[in-house]
């Protein structure tokens, strides 16, 4: 269970090696200075007249040295001030260094996980809930960063403790062993709270993940929730989730207060034992007794914070596990090859050949979404795929897009086979894609367009808008290209949004334009407009249309009819519509 934690600490070490070593040296320096500052109590107490009649021990040595050298109080006080000033300076320097290590480590880890997730294959996103990914990034990652850092702080605390215990041991070895023994007993007593904390934390993490999913789905489906009038049910679900989380949090608070109770009572018992042994059994030098007492009263909060830190770390372990699992899954799904060094594009000359391609969602799935499909899309032509819902149209489009890999068969772009990840990546780079519910950023129209092609000139932008038949609309807006589209393009109508997205796709001068049910959610008027825009592109571009409505594909050069993952008919609109026996005819009659 501690393995993921070590991994992150190791990452932290690899990331900030030099700074971390400097930090550790500073910590040792701080520990030594703090020890020296405590040791200064010995000459100070001696000069104040507290002495002992013992003739051995460090106290006696200091007494003799002060007598022989004749060192006066002002000099000892100056040394005391010097040590404390040095300690304060080191402390402030160390805290700045710590904060810089922590922040750069956080940036590194966040960017790293974001990158790993983003570069994972599409299949990963098909199998993973978005809410779970967002939950890991926004809720679990901060815990991981705090945890790795806290672990480091615990090591630092342990190092300082070792220095202090070392000093105490030199002064009073038996008393020190006694205190350490008592500390061990106390830790043993607290083991059960640690185990229980770990269990509760896993439950808490799972509950939080579910709650996050619930919130995300709630706001994604808010329109449906309101139209069905199920607000009360949703609020009740939310309340139930919170009640569960609240219960776990109260349990954790109980555990924390239990440990703190055990600590406080234990401290009182151990101080009494310490005094009893020091005075009655060891007959200790009062100065050494005072110093050992000072050391342990300073160490006690450290022990206690070490214990609390350990408990918090235990609480964070489920977060480490979740982040590590996600990271490992993404890594296993990362597209291989020199993907991001290459920028060249595919330039379709002959066409796209889909040869005997089959695909299913998951190796254990009995049902193939696409089965033994063969077809050719000549460059510069329009191909349409039609079929009833679930026939496999979008899956086939995703295969041609290079988002998913065929389980069997091959896809060829001219004479290049889409086999390697890097090929598929470059191919996607060369495609314009317009899905049914296209995505627009909450930014200006210009930003939304240039996102796909940052090097676009003003002329390129207007040309693309014109091709998508939306240039007049944009010209009419008060801020033209710089008008804001609102969250997900909410300030635009469905048709305007789709045409902006079409313009964005065209801006890249794509080798292939894929329209995946791009007009199915539009009204007739908007559909007509976008249809005109698409018709205007015929012959200029290679187009693949996945269509629900037959009216949108009348002018296609080739129509493929799909049924249960297979292509069952192919031809042109005119031929099909005259053949009442054709499946296409029946489809057209249904739509
Ligand atoms: N992510 C997925 N996981 C598992 N099965 C899936 C997934 N996506 C699609 N399928 C299944 O694959 C088959 C083909 O789906 P696909 O979306 O390609 O059909 P479609 O013809 O595009 O349907 P529609 O017109 O309704 O969008 C369907 O049986 C569907 O249930």
Of 274, 307, 332, which residue constitutes the final position of a domain? 332
Query: Is the confidence at residue 1, as pLDDT, over 60?
Result: no
Mutate to test the pocket of ligand 1, among 362, 387, 390 (most ligand atoms within 8 A of CB): 390
* pLDDT tens, position by position, 328-370: 999 888 877 666 666 677 788 899 999 999 999 988 888 999 9
State the pLDDT at residue 337: 66
Mutate to test the pocket of ligand 1, among 126, 359, 388, 395 (most ligand atoms within 8 A of CB): 395
Residue 490 within any structural domain of the chain: no
Please indicate, yes or no, whether residues 94 and 233 belong to a single structural domain of this protein: yes
The residue among 332, 356, 381 that closes a domain is 332
- For the chain, what is the domain count? 2
Residue 172 placed within a domain: yes
Same domain, 359 and 313: no
**Residues 60-75: tens digit of each pLDDT:** 677 677 677 777 778 8
List the beta strands (DSSP E) in 285-438.
Answer: 351-359, 370-378, 382-387, 408-413, 416-417, 431-434
Among 510, 558, 565, 501, smallest CA distance to 530 is for 501
The verdict on 355 and 297 lying in the same domain is: no
CB of 389 shorter than 6 A to ligand 1: yes
pLDDT of the residue at 393 = 92
292 part of a folded domain: yes
Tell me the CATH number at 313: 1.20.1560.10
Of the spans 36-45, 175-184, 252-261, 563-572, which averages the highest pLDDT?
563-572
- For the segment 387-440, what is each residue's pLDDT rounded down to a tens digit? 888 889 999 999 999 889 999 999 999 888 887 777 788 888 889 888 877 778
Radius of gyration of the chain from its Cα atoms, rounded to whole angstroms: 36
Q: How far apart are CA 101 and CA 114, in angstroms?
A: 20
The answer to whether residue 113 sits within a structural domain is yes
Residues 424, 319 share a domain: no
Same domain (yes/no): 101, 226: yes
**Could you tell me the distance, in angstroms and rounded to a whole number, from the CA of residue 361 to the centre of ligand 1?**
9
Cα 174 to Cα 254, 261, 328, 329, 498: the distances in Å are 36, 27, 50, 53, 81
Separation of alpha carbons 363 and 361, rounded Å: 7
248 and 278, same structural domain? yes
Nearest CA-CA partner of 407 in 366, 354, 371: 371
The reply to whether 305 and 404 lie within a common domain is no
Per DSSP, the three-state class of 420 is coil
Q: How far apart are CA 483 and CA 445, in angstroms?
A: 6
CATH code of the domain in which 396 resides: 3.40.50.300
Based on the domain organization, do 363 and 243 belong to the same domain?
Answer: no
**Residue 235 is part of which domain span?**
3-332
Within-domain flag for 532 = no
Domain boundary among 281, 303, 332: 332
Complex-level ipTM: 0.97
- Looking at the CA of residue 126, tell me the nearest atom of ligand 1: 1
184 with 74, same domain: the answer is: yes
Is 520's C-beta closer than 6 angstroms to any atom of ligand 1?
Answer: no
Terminal Cα-to-Cα distance of the chain (whole angstroms):
57
Is 106 part of any domain? yes
Average pLDDT over residues 7-19: 75
User: For residue 181, how far is its CA from the centre of ligand 1 (angstroms)?
Assistant: 66
Same domain? For 251 and 378 the reply is no
Do 182 and 154 sit in the same domain of this protein? Answer: yes
Residue 485 lies in a domain: no
Residues 305 and 413 in one domain: no
- The residues, ordered by sequence, that sit 6+ positions from 147 with a Cβ below 8 Å of its Cβ are 5, 8, 312, 313, 316, 317, 319, 320
CB 103 within 8 A of CB 15: no
Looking at the domain assignment, is residue 320 inside a domain? yes
């Amino acid at each position: 269970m501690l393995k993921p934690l070590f991994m992150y600490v190791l990452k932290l070490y690899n990331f900030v090696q030099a700074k971390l070593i400097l930090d550790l040296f500073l910590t040792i320096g701080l520990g030594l200075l703090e020890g020296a500052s405590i040791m200064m109590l010995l000459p100070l107490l001696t000069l104040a007249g507290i002495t002992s009649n013992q003739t051995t021990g460090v106290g006696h040595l200091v007494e003799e040295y002060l007598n022989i050298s004749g060192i006066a109080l002002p000099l000892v006080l100056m040394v005391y001030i010097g040590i404390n000033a040095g300690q304060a300076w080191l402390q402030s320097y160390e805290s700045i260094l710590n904060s810089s290590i922590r922040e750069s480590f956080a940036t590194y880890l966040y960017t790293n996980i974001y990158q790993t997730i983003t570069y994972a294959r599409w299949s990963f996103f098909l199998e993973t809930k978005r809410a779970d990914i967002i939950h890991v990034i926004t809720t679990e990652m901060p815990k991981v960063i705090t945890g790795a850092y806290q672990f480091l702080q615990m090591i630092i605390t342990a190092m300082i403790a070792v220095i202090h215990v070392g000093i105490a041991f030199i002064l009073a070895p038996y008393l020190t062993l006694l205190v350490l023994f008592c500390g061990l007993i106390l830790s043993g007593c607290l083991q059960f709270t640690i185990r229980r904390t770990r269990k509760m934390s896993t439950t808490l993490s799972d509950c939080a993940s579910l709650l996050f999913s619930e919130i995300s789905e709630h706001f994604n489906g808010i329109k449906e929730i309101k139209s069905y009038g199920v607000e009360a049910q949703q609020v009740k679900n939310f309340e139930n989730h919170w009640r569960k989380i609240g219960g776990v949090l109260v349990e954790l608070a109980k555990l924390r207060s239990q440990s703190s109770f055990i600590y406080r009572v234990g401290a009182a018992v151990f101080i009494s034992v310490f005094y009893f042994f020091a005075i009655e059994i060891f007959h200790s030098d009062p100065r050494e007794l005072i110093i050992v007492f000072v050391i342990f009263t300073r160490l006690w909060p450290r022990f206690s914070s070490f214990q609390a830190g350990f408990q918090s770390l235990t609480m964070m372990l489920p977060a480490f596990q979740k982040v590590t699992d996600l990271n490992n899954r993404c890594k296993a799904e990362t597209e291989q090859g020199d993907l991001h060094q290459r920028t060249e594009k595919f330039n379709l000359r002959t066409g796209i050949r889909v040869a005997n391609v089959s695909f299913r969602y998951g190796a254990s799935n009995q049902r193939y979404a696409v089965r033994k499909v063969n077809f050719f899309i000549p460059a510069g032509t329009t191909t349409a795929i039609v079929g009833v819902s679930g026939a496999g149209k979008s899956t086939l489009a995703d295969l041609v897009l290079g988002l998913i890999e065929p389980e069997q068969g091959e896809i060829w772009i001219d004479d290049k086979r889409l086999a390697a990840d890097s090929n598929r990546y470059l191919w996607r780079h060369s495609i314009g894609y317009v899905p049914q519910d296209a995505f627009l950023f909450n930014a200006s129209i210009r930003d939304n367009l240039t996102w796909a092609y940052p090097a676009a000139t003003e002329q390129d932008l207007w040309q693309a808008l014109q091709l998508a038949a939306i240039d007049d609309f944009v010209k009419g807006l008060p801020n033209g290209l710089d008008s804001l589209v609102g969250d997900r393009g909410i300030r635009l109508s469905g048709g305007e949004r789709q045409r902006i997205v079409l313009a964005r796709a065209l801006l890249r001068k794509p080798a292939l334009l894929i329209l995946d049910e791009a007009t199915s959610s539009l009204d007739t008027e908007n559909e007509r407009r976008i249809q005109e825009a698409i018709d205007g592109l015929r012959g200029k571009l290679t187009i693949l249309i996945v269509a629900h409505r037959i009216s949108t594909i009348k002018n296609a050069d080739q129509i493929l009819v799909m049924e249960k993952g297979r292509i069952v008919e192919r031809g042109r609109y005119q031929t099909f519509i005259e053949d009442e026996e054709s499946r296409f005819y029946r489809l057209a009659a249904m739509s």
